[in-house]
A and B are shown apart, each in its own frame.
Chain A
Amino acid sequence: MKVNLKVWRQKNNNAAGKLVEYGLDNISPDMSFLEMIDVLNGELTRKGDEPIVFDHDCREGICGMCSMYIDGRAHGPQTGATTCQLHMRSFNDGDTIVVEPWRARAFPVIKDLMVDRTAFDRIVQAGGYVSVNTGSAPDANEITIPRTIADEAMDAAQCIGCGACVAACKNASAMLFVAAKVSHMAVLPQGQAERSIRAERMVAQMDAEGFGACSFTGACSVECPKSISLDHIARMNREYLGAKLTSENV
């Protein structure tokens, strides 16, 4: 098949960017979207042009590295999938496809389609953990967790930290990402000791990073490659409110 691409090219964070057009022939519908970009990059290199820079690593939908905004949607037209899981059979012969980086103030562009997502790491550092040193754990079966609770925790914990939720949100809010972590730990017995302080600190860090507020449109959950539910945002709001009402930090 044939496709016409419009790809965001930006030399670095300080430079102005623009959409550049490229045409590609002989694309197999079985190719993944990133393999299609590989083919383009091979052609660009042979012609003496700089290849397109983009984040990618595992190419099986779990590392959370790939991050393309395709035709106005985070990770492209499929739901429940990352960019690397998108295949060219999702497009029609002759389509024009627009590819941009995540757009958010808290995710500055590094180059072309690559953005800086270290804000997410700093949010986790603010409290996304259980304080337990290596070696001090009791026997694993001493902590019993009903299966439904374990499943609920796992539903939240499977967030891959890609940032699609932020990219999809009109406010560039990171609520779904933060909620997934807060919720994962709030439902588990292991997370109870730091439950309040975690919610307070992670939300404070989220605000400090410059992410927008949540207006509960639900775009994040729709575009989330792991389909993480909005329920977790509801739970985080409850956690946060509860934490603030009883907070020792006045």
Chain B
Amino acid sequence: MVTDQQSTMELQSKVPAGPLPEKWSRHKFALKLVNPSNKRKYDIIVVGTGLAGASAAASLAELGYNVKAFCFQDSPRRAHSIAAQGGINAAKNYQNDGDSVFRLFYDTIKGGDYRAREGNVHRLAEVSVNIIDQCVAQGVPFAREYGGLLANRSFGGAQVSRTFYARGQTGQQLLLGAYSALSRQVANGKVKLFPRTEMLDLVVEGGKARGIITRNLVTGKIESHSGHAVLLCTGGYGNVFYLSTNAMGSNVTAAWRAHKHGALMANPCFTQIHPTCIPVKGDYQSKLTLMSESLRNDGRVWVPKSKEDAQKIQKGQMKATDLKEEDRDYFLERRYPSFGNLVPRDVASRNAKYVCDEGRGVSKTGLAVYLDFADAIKRDGKKTIEAKYGNLFEMYYKIVDENPYETPMMIYPAVHYTMGGLWVDYNLMTSIPGLYALGEANFSDHGANRLGASALMQGLADGYFVIPYTVGDYLATIGPADKVSVDSPAFKQAEKRVSDQVQRLLAIKGTKPVDEFHRALGLIMWDYCGMSRTAEGLKKAKGMIQDLKKEFWTNVRVMGDNEEMNQALENAGRVADFIELGELMVDDALNREESCGGHFREEHQTEDGEALRNDEEYAYVAAWEYTGENQPEVLHKEELVFENVKLTQRSYK
């Protein structure tokens, strides 16, 4: 692929000056506006229709822009935001328990282990309250109290109750809300939908993003789409681990191909391993299922105190319920008395790994811990627990074939979310002018660890309340005439690059199916770039990934043709990109000589095994620049400035 080299790039975060609570309002006033009658002269491309994409596409169309929205699924309603269970945070303080915009900001910055931008996070907390209003107005059926007002629950990493929810299907209901707003704009003719269409390249010309090249997944047709701005709302790259809680189709391709054109990739090693997932059963496993973190509100996490008891359980000679109270180790409550089972995700995951590494894990594999509801059922009654978690218990039962009302659930950490992503400035613009990244696809708000119920908040904040302001500033600056035709050489060359790659994949005709490469990559990433990392392991992983890449391009077997529905071909392109991303993640993890949030380097820990940050040297965003095939990427640093919070070691004890 061609790169637009910018060797002396300087990263401008564009976070406005001024007191933190006034930054966003001042910035909004400073942004240029597009006259209402001129908005119809601009075309905006939105890739991905999850919370960020659907909310952005709908809101921009409402303003009067012409929007083209793309998704690889058969309908925009199926984007993976739909699977989010637990809830969405907002600083409404409806519970009168001391919440505020500043507290949500503070919890998020601290939860992210001080590796996020203050300005972005404060804005997120500010607009969180508008999101709930918007969703309720759309008809999202949030949980209610008997008096008819909205209900809240608490979530990991916070000591206030600020999470809004719709049973265990909050993501579904929020996405269907955004999808309904999007559908309304499709009916109005302001959004043109392209389902079953995958973005395979970005077109950059004259230093600006000009459009995208897509493949129609049903016919194989390679097509060009031109726009004044391109919004990547394409989610995270958790599937680089093969096994994750992401949907099977979630991929990094759109972001990665933009990266190859000069969009910097920031903090790619910051991945979140979620503590409460259903453990792996066998090597045929295709994905992992998350059990909402909200379960930790009432469930108690434990393993046997002794290795001997654990072994008996692993061999099936003993059941969880046989173990006496004094023989159980409620390790989160023991180590973190003030937060207990509600410690943030990275802490909960790492501790589960420790007890399993000690040989005290349960299930056949020894890679699981218990999440026990017996006490909660005794205290509140089965009915109450059923009302709160009924659908989750049912889901667990369907997968594991055990009844969690009677025997403790088994859980183990799994890859869930990626905090890293395309580098963006305060306007959500990447390092390529005109190219934006929203939601999980960008890196900006969660630092090194995301708190529960914050992903939905960020996706909708970006789409409903940030991009409608910031994109206008860019469009007003360039003017409607600054657009490149799909007949131009830039588009034609990009189309050729895409179809060449497709043909190359089909022509290898090797011996191994795509999935085998994906599984192999996943294992490397999980073993060496997963819950804990070492320099030695990372170096080894780098070599293994390079070997895998060579083997992929000589030995992958993709059956069928381009001119038809060909899922193996789709996957082959995605896995090729995951392999390259995997190598960058390893580089990033090697570079970051500290432990913070989800990035735990064994060389850097406190005496009692907690993450040890190095604020002196690493309080920066690591933004990587692609410099060419098999060339080392160049690191650019954006120093993080903290004016409103004091950097302390996170303590949840």
- What's the Cα separation between A130 and B58 when bound, in Å? 13
Interchain CB contact under 8 A, A46 and B513 = yes
- What's the Cα separation between A79 and B195 when bound, in Å? 29
A interface footprint on B389-427 (CB within 8 Å = 1, 0 otherwise)? 000001100110100000000000000000000000000
Contact flag A49-B559 (CB < 8 Å), given A57-B248, A184-B139: yes
Contact flag A61-B181 (CB < 8 Å), given A134-B59, A134-B465: no
Residue of B whose beta carbon sits closest to that of A34: B286
Provide the residues of chain B in CB contact with A143, threshold 8 Å. 136-137
Contact flag A58-B513 (CB < 8 Å), given A125-B183, A138-B133, A140-B132: no
Interchain CB contact under 8 A, A124 and B139 = no
- What's the Cα separation between A28 and B284 when bound, in Å? 9
Provide the residues of chain B in CB contact with A81, threshold 8 Å. 398
- What's the Cα separation between A210 and B36 when bound, in Å? 39
Provide the residues of chain B in CB contact with A191, threshold 8 Å. 139
B interface footprint on A82-122 (CB within 8 Å = 1, 0 otherwise)? 00010101000000000000000000001100101110110
Interchain CB contact under 8 A, A131 and B464 = no
Complex interface residues of chain B between 129 and 165 (CB less than 8 A to chain A): 130, 132-139, 141-150
Interchain CB contact under 8 A, B75 and A153 = no
Provide the residues of chain B in CB contact with A125, threshold 8 Å. 183-184, 186-187
Provide the residues of chain B in CB contact with A48, threshold 8 Å. 559
Q: Quick check: which of B171-179, B537-545, B580-588 contacts chain A, the rest being far away?
A: B171-179
Q: Quick check: which of A1-9, A144-152, A215-223, A234-242 contacts chain B, the rest being far away?
A: A144-152
Question: Is A12 close to B, CB under 8 A?
Answer: yes
Q: Quick check: which of B76-84, B102-110, B111-119 contacts chain A, the rest being far away?
A: B76-84
Residue of B whose beta carbon sits closest to that of A61: B395
Provide the residues of chain A in CB contact with B559, threshold 8 Å. 44-45, 48-51
Complex interface residues of chain B between 543 and 574 (CB less than 8 A to chain A): 557, 559-560, 564-568
Interchain CB contact under 8 A, A41 and B513 = yes
Question: Is B206 close to A, CB under 8 A?
Answer: no
Interchain CB contact under 8 A, A39 and B80 = no
Question: Is A53 close to B, CB under 8 A?
Answer: yes
Question: Is B167 close to A, CB under 8 A?
Answer: yes
Question: Is B62 close to A, CB under 8 A?
Answer: yes
Interchain CB contact under 8 A, A147 and B146 = yes
Question: Is B234 close to A, CB under 8 A?
Answer: no
In the assembled complex, the CB of B54 is this many whole angstroms from the nearest CB of chain A, namely: 11
In the assembled complex, the CB of B595 is this many whole angstroms from the nearest CB of chain A, namely: 31
- What's the Cα separation between A48 and B511 when bound, in Å? 9
Question: Is A248 close to B, CB under 8 A?
Answer: no
**Interface residues in B, total, Cβ within 8 A:** 83
Contact flag A65-B74 (CB < 8 Å), given A147-B145, A157-B176: yes
Interchain CB contact under 8 A, B138 and A87 = no
- What's the Cα separation between A20 and B422 when bound, in Å? 45
Contact of B144 among A32, A150, A160 (CB under 8 A): A150
A interface footprint on B608-645 (CB within 8 Å = 1, 0 otherwise)? 00000000000000000000000000000000000000
Provide the residues of chain A in CB contact with B566, threshold 8 Å. 53
Question: Is A170 close to B, CB under 8 A?
Answer: no
A interface footprint on B269-295 (CB within 8 Å = 1, 0 otherwise)? 000000000000110111101100000
Interchain CB contact under 8 A, B74 and A12 = no
Contact flag A57-B183 (CB < 8 Å), given A39-B284, A130-B139, A150-B142: no
B interface footprint on A31-56 (CB within 8 Å = 1, 0 otherwise)? 11011001101101110111101011
Question: Is B210 close to A, CB under 8 A?
Answer: no
- What's the Cα separation between A141 and B136 when bound, in Å? 9
- What's the Cα separation between A30 and B289 when bound, in Å? 14
- What's the Cα separation between A151 and B387 when bound, in Å? 11
- What's the Cα separation between A65 and B80 when bound, in Å? 11
Provide the residues of chain B in CB contact with A57, threshold 8 Å. 73, 78, 80, 247-249
Residue of A whose beta carbon sits closest to that of B132: A140
Contact of A145 among B137, B148, B515, B560 (CB under 8 A): B148
Interchain CB contact under 8 A, B398 and A85 = yes
Interchain CB contact under 8 A, A190 and B137 = yes
Question: Is B260 close to A, CB under 8 A?
Answer: no
Interchain CB contact under 8 A, A60 and B137 = no
Provide the residues of chain B in CB contact with A51, threshold 8 Å. 513, 559, 567-568
Provide the residues of chain A in CB contact with B511, threshold 8 Å. 46
Provide the residues of chain A in CB contact with B82, threshold 8 Å. 58, 62-63
- What's the Cα separation between A161 and B78 when bound, in Å? 9
B interface footprint on A150-192 (CB within 8 Å = 1, 0 otherwise)? 1101100110110000000000000000000000110010110
Provide the residues of chain A in CB contact with B92, threshold 8 Å. 140-141
Question: Is B44 close to A, CB under 8 A?
Answer: no
Interchain CB contact under 8 A, A145 and B144 = yes
In the assembled complex, the CB of B289 is this many whole angstroms from the nearest CB of chain A, namely: 5
- What's the Cα separation between A87 and B399 when bound, in Å? 7
Residue of A whose beta carbon sits closest to that of B149: A141
Contact flag A118-B75 (CB < 8 Å), given A38-B284, A134-B58: yes
Contact of B139 among A58, A65, A110, A190 (CB under 8 A): A190
Provide the residues of chain B in CB contact with A62, threshold 8 Å. 82-83, 169, 172
Interchain CB contact under 8 A, A65 and B138 = no
Interchain CB contact under 8 A, B284 and A35 = yes
Provide the residues of chain A in CB contact with B137, threshold 8 Å. 130, 132, 136-138, 143, 190
Interchain CB contact under 8 A, A60 and B515 = no
Question: Is A76 close to B, CB under 8 A?
Answer: no
Question: Is B227 close to A, CB under 8 A?
Answer: no
Question: Is B468 close to A, CB under 8 A?
Answer: yes
- What's the Cα separation between A131 and B137 when bound, in Å? 9
Provide the residues of chain A in CB contact with B290, threshold 8 Å. 60
Contact of A140 among B133, B145, B218, B245 (CB under 8 A): B133
Interchain CB contact under 8 A, A140 and B186 = no
Interchain CB contact under 8 A, B401 and A89 = yes
Interchain CB contact under 8 A, A137 and B193 = no
In the assembled complex, the CB of B547 is this many whole angstroms from the nearest CB of chain A, namely: 21
Interchain CB contact under 8 A, A146 and B144 = yes
Interchain CB contact under 8 A, A140 and B282 = no
Provide the residues of chain A in CB contact with B652, threshold 8 Å. none
Residue of B whose beta carbon sits closest to that of A54: B567
A interface footprint on B229-254 (CB within 8 Å = 1, 0 otherwise)? 00000000000000001011100000
In the assembled complex, the CB of B392 is this many whole angstroms from the nearest CB of chain A, namely: 11
Interchain CB contact under 8 A, A116 and B74 = yes
- What's the Cα separation between A39 and B282 when bound, in Å? 13
- What's the Cα separation between A30 and B402 when bound, in Å? 12
Provide the residues of chain A in CB contact with B132, threshold 8 Å. 140
Contact flag A38-B172 (CB < 8 Å), given A124-B183, A134-B468: no
Interchain CB contact under 8 A, A55 and B74 = yes
Question: Is B534 close to A, CB under 8 A?
Answer: no
- What's the Cα separation between A32 and B282 when bound, in Å? 11
- What's the Cα separation between A85 and B278 when bound, in Å? 13
Question: Is B180 close to A, CB under 8 A?
Answer: yes
Contact of B80 among A12, A58, A116, A117 (CB under 8 A): A58
Residue of A whose beta carbon sits closest to that of B285: A35
- Closest 6 pairs (CB-CB, A-B): A144-B148, A137-B137, A129-B180, A137-B133, A153-B141, A154-B141
User: Residues of B at under 8 Å CB distance from A?
Assistant: 55, 58-59, 62, 73-78, 80, 82-83, 92, 94, 130, 132-139, 141-150, 166-167, 169, 172-173, 176, 179-181, 183-184, 186-187, 193, 195, 218, 245, 247-249, 281-282, 284-287, 289-290, 394-395, 398-399, 401, 464-465, 468, 511-513, 515-516, 557, 559-560, 564-568
Q: List 16 A-B contacts (CB under 8 A).
A: A38-B515, A45-B513, A58-B82, A60-B289, A65-B74, A118-B74, A130-B138, A132-B137, A134-B55, A134-B468, A140-B136, A145-B148, A147-B146, A154-B167, A157-B173, A158-B167
20 other contacts beyond A59-B248, A62-B169, A129-B184, with CB at 8 A cut-off?
A12-B564, A42-B513, A46-B511, A55-B74, A57-B73, A57-B78, A63-B73, A63-B80, A63-B82, A63-B247, A124-B77, A128-B180, A128-B183, A140-B132, A141-B149, A144-B147, A154-B141, A157-B139, A158-B169, A161-B77
